[in-house]
Amino acid sequence: MILFFLLLGEEDTSRVIVHIDVDCFYAQVEMIRDPSLRDKPLGIQQKYIVVTCNYVARKHGVTKLMGIKQAKELCPELVLVKGEDLTHYREMSYRITVTLQKFSPLVERLGFDENFVDVTETVDARLKSTFSPQLNGHIFPEMEIEGTYERHKRLACGSQIAAEMRQALHSDLGITCCAGIAHNKLLAKLVAGQHKPNQQTSLLPGGVGKLMGTLKTARNIPGIGSRTFKRLQTLGISTVQDLQDAPADVLQAEFGSQTAQVMQQLCRGVDPSPVTPTGPPQTISDEDSFKKCASLQDAKERMTGLLQSLMKRLKGDGRFPHVLRVTVRKLSASNKWTNRESRQCAIPSHLFGTGAEETISKLLDLCVVLFCKMVDVNHPFHLTLINICFAKLEARS
DNA sequence: ATGGATGAG
DNA sequence: CATTCTCATCCAT
């Protein structure tokens, strides 16, 4: 059956994909850690920025990535919790993924606070038993259609599973989230945002055009970032409609046939990409940004701090890295963005055999070598960020 | 394999 | 625009 419309170039609408998007994730973790924060306006602070905030704070006009100063002006009562150490967020993030894996092994993480789950198999298994489920939560578009449940049994079943997932996250972890249910990842993610917070929305197949129409520009399509959008604008393309109507050969000339086709599929709500189960992380990194680092001594102290926290994480992970990478950001008047430089080297495998203190000292020596390939320490320099990354993580052999 | 560009939250 | 602190993929070399 599926083979037919695949051969005809039609899409597969038989999958059922759930997108789980945790409400104001960092703020929720802090409110769980300290319930007295629940009814107060709360912002999570990294350096001079509020990276996210709870809904009480949003009521006062505080938004993501707002400067501390402006946020305090809008909301003098705002409680700020430092969130530069991601340990608690990372731990809760993986607990969420593990909880979702009880419903299906096909769970793909997106950042710390979003997961895609392919529940097609679960839906098929449930529909073999006789009962016919009611659709749980909102539907998009929100209009009453005769026979909605009968004609969309699989979607309704998916919405029941999504509700069970959200219940499990709430009772096991105390976490609230939104869910989107649709026949592909793109649509599940987009429809999840229709009713926030702590609600869920299912997309009827007939509502795809209308959902894509809610996007203000093509920039709002996941996968089309700021750079790609600028290039599209160069071609006179900015809205989703522009992209749908654009001649294929014009797009191909700018982006190549592969990328051009993917973009034009996405803007029509077509996304054949599978839910790819996320394994353990491929890299473990730690970074710090600052106003100024101008001496090797200072850099060594900062890198030592990063290495110490990385070693703790490595112990929890159980694997060992075979590559070390150091990244710096240099202050530069022009090109203030996209200016990170990195150097990497192999880690001799004997290095993790001895005590932690000795290991850190040897790693620091390697970091200094890499650092000096990017920074001439005999001349004045001005760094604003240092990152250390462990890569090629493998079980000990 | 390396390092940069670009994407995600 | 990035800003924070991550993590992933793609591409030219």
Q: Which residues pair with A285 in a beta bridge?
A: A389
Consecutive H or E run containing A343: strand A340-346
Assess whether A177 and A231 both reside in one domain: no
**Residue A397: which residues within 8 A CB-CB, separation 6 or more?**
none
Q: What is the C-alpha separation between A241 and A237, in angstroms, rounded?
A: 9
Task: Locate all alpha helices (DSSP H) within A340-395, ordered by sequence.
Answer: 356-374
Whichever domain contains A317, its CATH number is: 3.30.1490.100
Assess whether A159 and A207 both reside in one domain: yes
The residue behind tokens 């491929």 is A282
| Secondary structure (DSSP) of A152-207 | THHHHHHHHHHHHHHHHHHHHH---EEEEEESSHHHHHHHHTTS-SS-EEEE-GGG
Neighbours of A123 (CB within 10 A): 23
Assess whether A302 and A244 both reside in one domain: no
Q: What is the C-alpha separation between A232 and A209, in angstroms, rounded?
A: 21
Mean pLDDT, 10 residues at a time, chain A of 397 residues: 62 93 98 98 98 98 97 98 98 98 98 98 93 92 77 95 98 98 98 98 97 98 97 97 97 95 97 97 98 97 98 97 98 75 97 94 98 97 97 90
Using a 7 Å cut-off to protein CB atoms, list the covered nucleotides of chain B: 2-9
pTM of the model: 0.96
Assess whether A186 and A252 both reside in one domain: no
Nearest nucleotide from residue A336 CA, by C1' atom? C2
Assess whether A135 and A247 both reside in one domain: no
Assess whether A316 and A226 both reside in one domain: no
pLDDT of A314 = 97
Nearest nucleotide from residue A322 CA, by C1' atom? B1
Residue A294 lies in a domain: yes
- Residues 325-344 of chain A: which lie with beta carbon within 7 Å of strand B? 325, 338-344
A59: containing domain? 25-84
Tell me, yes or no, if A114 is annotated catalytic: yes
Q: What is the C-alpha separation between A37 and A310, in angstroms, rounded?
A: 30
Residue A2 lies in a domain: no
Assess whether A172 and A123 both reside in one domain: yes
What's the CA A137/C1' C9 distance, rounded, in angstroms? 35
Assess whether A100 and A201 both reside in one domain: yes
A228 touches strand B (CB under 7 A): yes
Residue A7 lies in a domain: no
A323 touches strand B (CB under 7 A): yes
Assess whether A244 and A259 both reside in one domain: yes
Query: What is the amino acid identity at position A219?
Result: R
Residue A3 lies in a domain: no
What's the CA A271/C1' C4 distance, rounded, in angstroms? 31
The 8-class DSSP code of residue A238 comes to -
Whichever domain contains A234, its CATH number is: 1.10.150.20
Assess whether A112 and A188 both reside in one domain: yes
Domain count for chain A = 4
Structural tokens at position A153:
């049994």
pLDDT of A9 = 65
The residue behind tokens 């998009």 is A140
Q: What is the C-alpha separation between A305 and A307, in angstroms, rounded?
A: 5
8 Å CB contact between A153 and A133: yes
Whichever domain contains A95, its CATH number is: 3.30.70.270
Residue A274 lies in a domain: no
What's the CA A93/C1' B1 distance, rounded, in angstroms? 32
Assess whether A155 and A204 both reside in one domain: yes
Angle (CA) A314-A315-A317 rounded to 5° is 60
Residue A273 lies in a domain: no
Residue A276 lies in a domain: no
A110 touches strand B (CB under 7 A): yes
What's the CA A57/C1' B8 distance, rounded, in angstroms? 25
Q: What is the C-alpha separation between A258 and A268, in angstroms, rounded?
A: 16
Spacing of C-alpha A67 from chain mean position: 22
Strand order in the sheet with A383-394: A284-293, A383-394, A320-330, A340-346
**Residue A1: which residues within 8 A CB-CB, separation 6 or more?**
none
What's the CA A112/C1' C6 distance, rounded, in angstroms? 9
pLDDT of A6 = 58
Residue A252 lies in a domain: yes
- Interhelix angle for A257-266 vs A248-255, to 10°? 130
Query: What is the amino acid identity at position A177?
Result: C
Q: What is the C-alpha separation between A141 and A221, in angstroms, rounded?
A: 19
Whichever domain contains A75, its CATH number is: 3.40.1170.60
Q: What is the C-alpha separation between A76 and A60, in angstroms, rounded?
A: 10
A111 touches strand B (CB under 7 A): yes
State phi, psi for A351 to the nearest 5 degrees.
Answer: -65, -25
Assess whether A256 and A320 both reside in one domain: no
The one catalytic residue among A11, A30, A108, A114:
A114
User: Which among A175, A182, A132 has a CA at the least distance from the CA of A159?
Assistant: A182
Task: Locate all alpha helices (DSSP H) within chain A, ordered by sequence.
Answer: 2-7, 25-33, 55-59, 68-74, 87-101, 120-128, 148-151, 153-173, 185-192, 208-213, 226-234, 240-245, 248-255, 257-266, 296-317, 356-374
A198 touches strand B (CB under 7 A): no
**Residue A59: which residues within 8 A CB-CB, separation 6 or more?**
A41
pLDDT of A290 = 97
Q: What is the C-alpha separation between A391 and A389, in angstroms, rounded?
A: 6
Q: Which residue is nearest to nucleotide B4 (CA to C1')?
A: A341
